[in-house]
DNA sequence: AATGAATGAGCGTTCATTCAT
DNA sequence: TATGAATGAACGCTCATTCAT
């Protein structure tokens, strides 16, 4: 009974929990990038190579895992702050993921999501100061710009969509 | 709740065709407004009080009925041209419908959709001229602004989202 | 009211009945040849360019129109009798139609179908005599051979299926 | 009609997988026998007392389950080889199933189906040798005979259809 | 705690059949 | 009598969610 076994995947005990969680988050990010937020929730478990119930144990629904991906992205931003332009470009580069995460954040009512919103505000507040945005520029203004670039670029078919969108909103923010 | 009844819906004959078509378009507009473009196609038939197959006779898919709704909106604009600001406000007022129509327009490759795109371009070209937008402003610029306002407002939870988005993109377009 | 009109198709009165009937039979034969007996019944009306209800007026169901096609084929055979081999070859050439008609004939319980069966028997009886088939060969034997060739050829993917099938059953019938 | 109940069907867990698979194959065989290969795919799940999605998990389409039924039949033949006559009789006894399996085999392009075709060829090659069929008799000849008997018997209404068909093709094969 | 099979509801689509005109 | 639109009942397929192991 304790031979090499041919079991499809062993129950490796609690130790595997963290690994699984990370695999799920990575799979979700990939799938959001490829297919947008409308991927089947169960596809995430498949892609991660993890059982369905484990997915549900870690994340009760798609929004929850979206929030978790968001958290990772935020951590990167906190570690290495960027200016407005670079921020918008990175949003557009990952337009489908960005749009997915915004959907998740807006949809979620969890305290974790609240926390993320606060941390994002802090990042943006900092960015406004460091990047010489006109006085009066609010966090909400920048968030709106981000959302507009993300959703438009995710939906637009042409390759120059991102560039054009960024140009417009950046001018709109700076030309106060 | 007395006698309106839920009779199995009588076949009113071909005379009902035009009525049904209009009922379907109206139902689609309502549902797009309530739930976005992702409403089940069959929900449109249900809401219109029309059989599934009649929906399919009139419109082969969701994109087709999206295009039909678009056409009605476009006709209004052609009849009564408006300036950029009013245009964006009306887009935002019907944000979910607007986003739905943009999705339909972008998704479709039908000649009918092409025709609508051309008509929309004409409207915007005219608007650029009449509304003193900076020389060099392109139709694509305005379309991007429209798309950004529509998608952002459709997704955003707060009531002032539209106003803020319009302010940003309008400034962005005028500040050339 | 009696202008040139643009009505999709005028009600041309009883005179059109015969024409419609023939158009339906021709359409059915074509569709059986292309797609087998499983074509949607309504496709026949479409192909014939005739209203659905007219199809139903002339033929209550698919079996009935199959029988009608059969009748035409039988008339040709009565006008110009052929030998066993040529008969089997023509069955195989039109394998899908042949299989369709056999299905219709077997399924139908109408007196017309009975009549056709009788006429077919007469043709085969005549053929047995003229074609020197072994004494003792029954009409049922020949009918079975026809059915086998038709169904097998209709189902078989390879081009030599018909030839092989004909060789086997013809030998089987003649080698008594 | 007292207590057998129609409980909403409990989830008996993964242990039921093998049972379910077998129940599906059995149900498919029954339904093919009763109604031919054209039974609705979903009817198989209903008959087996299994959810739709479980059917799809085990067999992606009707052809796949046809192949599985075929496999069982083939295994019996491999275990206990029979002569041509007995083979044709058993085909005819299960005419509708046989015709269904032939349709599945012909329709499928899967490697599994190829494998079955090869095994069937081996069985027939062996049979040709053991049963003194004339030299020159090919596997394709015998397969054609099988197909003809199966399809004809499945379609024919009369009880003596099988016997007659077998007599003809057997004579056709032996009288070389 | 992890697995992955089972469930059933729902959506998209097609078809046979009816019915007002 | 011919027309063709309307109807609703299936069928194929997928997905979110649960549960025995």
Q: Which of D151, D163, D174 to mutate to test the interface with C (most CBs of C within 10 A)?
A: D151
Task: State both tokens at A140.
Answer: 């909400």
At B14-30, the pLDDT tens digits run 667 889 999 999 999 99
Q: Which nucleotide is nearest to A41 (CA to C1')?
A: F16
Residues 6+ apart with CB under 8 A from C50: C20, C23, C24
- The confidence score (pLDDT) of residue D11 equals 57
pLDDT band at D32 (very low <50, low <70, confident <90, very high): very high
The band of B13, judged by pLDDT with boundaries at 50, 70 and 90, is: low
Rounded average pLDDT over D37-53: 96
Distant-in-sequence, close-in-space partners of A106: CB < 8 Å, separation ≥ 6: B155, B156, B157
| Local structure of residue D135 (DSSP, 8 states) | T
The percent helix, strand, coil of chain D (3-state, each to 5) is 70, 0, 30
Phi first, then psi: give them for residue C99, nearest 5 degrees: -65, -40
Residues 28-57 of chain D in contact with strand F via CB under 7 angstroms: 40-43, 52-53, 56
pLDDT value of residue A2: 37
Query: Is A74 at the interface with chain B, CB within 8 A?
Result: no
CB environment D102-126: b (16+ within 10 A), e (fewer): bbbbbbbeeeebeebbebbeebbee
Third-level CATH fold of C15-174: Tetracycline Repressor; domain 2 (1.10.357)
* Residue pLDDT, tens place only, A104-126: 999 999 999 999 999 999 999 99
Q: Hey, what CATH class is B16-174 in?
A: mainly alpha
Chain segment C53-80, per-residue pLDDT in tens: 999 999 999 999 999 999 999 999 999 9
- Report the alpha-carbon distance of residue B18 to residue D40 in Å, rounded: 36
- pLDDT by residue (tens digit) across D103-157? 999 999 899 999 999 999 999 999 999 999 999 999 999 999 999 999 999 999 8
pLDDT by residue (tens digit) across C135-151? 999 999 999 999 999 99
Bases of strand E lying below 7 A from some protein CB: 1-21
Q: Residues near B145 by Cβ (< 8 Å), separated by ≥ 6?
A: A168, B88, B169, B170, B172, B173
Tell which residue, A159, A164, A35, has the closest CA to residue A97.
A35
Q: Show which of residues 117-156 on chain A sit within 8 Å of chain B, judged by CB atoms.
A: 140-141, 144-145, 147-149, 151-152, 155-156
> According to the model, what pLDDT value does residue B86 have?
97
Tokens of A86: 């670079």
Contact indicator for B144, A164 with CB cutoff of 8 Å: yes
What pLDDT score does A44 carry?
98
Q: Quick one: pLDDT band at residue A51, thresholds 50, 70, 90? A: very high
Supply the pTM of this predicted model.
0.89
Q: Please give the structure tokens belonging to residue A150.
A: 């993300």
Q: Where are the beta strands (DSSP E) in C36-151?
A: none
> CA-to-CA distance for A169 and A58, rounded, in angstroms?
37
Residues 8-37 of A with CB under 7 A from strand E: 8-9, 11-14, 16-17, 20
**How high is the pLDDT of residue C4?**
37
pLDDT single digits (tens) B158-170: 999 999 999 999 9
Please report which confidence band the pLDDT of residue B157 belongs to, taking 50, 70 and 90 as the band edges: confident
Collect contacts of D21-28 with beta carbons under 8 A, ≥24 apart. D21/D58, D23/D48, D23/D49, D23/D50, D24/D48, D24/D50, D24/D54, D24/D55, D24/D58, D24/D59, D24/D65, D25/D65, D25/D68, D25/D69, D25/D72, D28/D65, D28/D66, D28/D68, D28/D69
- What is the per-residue pLDDT for D4? 35
Q: Which tens digit of pLDDT belongs to each residue from D50-83? A: 999 999 999 999 999 999 999 999 999 999 999 9
**Strand F proximal to B53 Cβ, under 7 A:** yes
DSSP letter string over A131-172? TTPPTT--HHHHHHHHHHHHHHHHH--STTHHHHHHHHHHHH
DSSP letter, residue D11 = -
Distance D87 CA to E13 C1' (A): 42
d(CA A50, CA A47): 8
Q: Where do the domains of chain C lie?
A: 15-174
Question: Is the pLDDT reported for residue D168 higher than 90?
Answer: yes
CB < 7 A to strand E: residues 11-40, chain D: 11-14, 16-17, 20-21
Is the per-residue pLDDT at A7 higher than 80?
no
Distance CA C92, CA D169 (A): 17
How many Å apart are CA C44 and CA C24, to the nearest integer? 7
Question: Which pLDDT score is estimated for C157?
Answer: 87
Which pLDDT belongs to residue C2?
Answer: 37
Average pLDDT, chain B: 91
Q: How far is CA D163 from the centre of its chain?
A: 20
Q: How does residue B78 score in pLDDT terms, banded at 50, 70 and 90?
A: very high
Q: Please provide the DSSP assignment of B56-73 as one string.
A: HHH-SSHHHHHHHHHHHH
Arithmetic mean of pLDDT, A23-39: 97
3 state SS of C10: coil
Return the CA Rg of chain C.
19
pLDDT of residue B10: 54
d(CA A107, CA C125): 80
Q: What is the Cα C101 distance to its own chain's centre? A: 4
The answer to whether residue C15 scores a pLDDT higher than 80 is no
Looking at the complex, does the CB of residue B171 fall below 8 Å from at least one CB of chain A? yes
Categorise residue D36: left if φ over 0, alpha if ψ from -120 to 50, beta otherwise: left
Residue B81, CB, less than 7 Å from strand E? no
D171 contacts C172? CB cut-off 8 A:
yes
Q: What is the pLDDT of residue D16?
A: 75
- In this predicted structure, the answer to whether residue B79 has a pLDDT above a threshold of 60 is yes
A69-84 as b/e: b if 16+ CB within 10 A: bbbebbeebeeeebeb
The gap between D171 CA and E13 C1' (Å) is: 49
């Amino acid at each position: 009974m304790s031979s090499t076994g041919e079991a499809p995947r062993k129950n490796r005990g609690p130790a595997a929990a963290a690994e699984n969680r990370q695999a799920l988050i990575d799979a979700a990010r990939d799938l959001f990038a490829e297919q947008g937020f409308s991927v089947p929730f169960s596809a995430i478990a498949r892609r991660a190579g993890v059982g369905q119930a484990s997915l549900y144990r870690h994340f009760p629904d798609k929004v929850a895992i979206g929030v978790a991906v968001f958290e990772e992205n935020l951590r990167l931003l906190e570690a290495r702050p960027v200016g407005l332009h670079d921020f918008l470009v990175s949003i557009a580069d990952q337009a489908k993921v960005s749009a997915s995460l915004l959907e998740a954040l807006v949809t979620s009512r969890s305290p974790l999501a609240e926390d993320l919103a606060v941390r994002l505000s802090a990042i943006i507040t900092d960015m406004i100061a460091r990047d010489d945005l006109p006085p009066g520029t609010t966090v909400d203004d920048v968030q709106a710009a981000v959302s507009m670039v993300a959703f438009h670029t995710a939906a637009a078919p042409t390759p120059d969509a991102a560039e054009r969108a960024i140009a417009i909103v950046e001018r709109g923010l700076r030309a106060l």
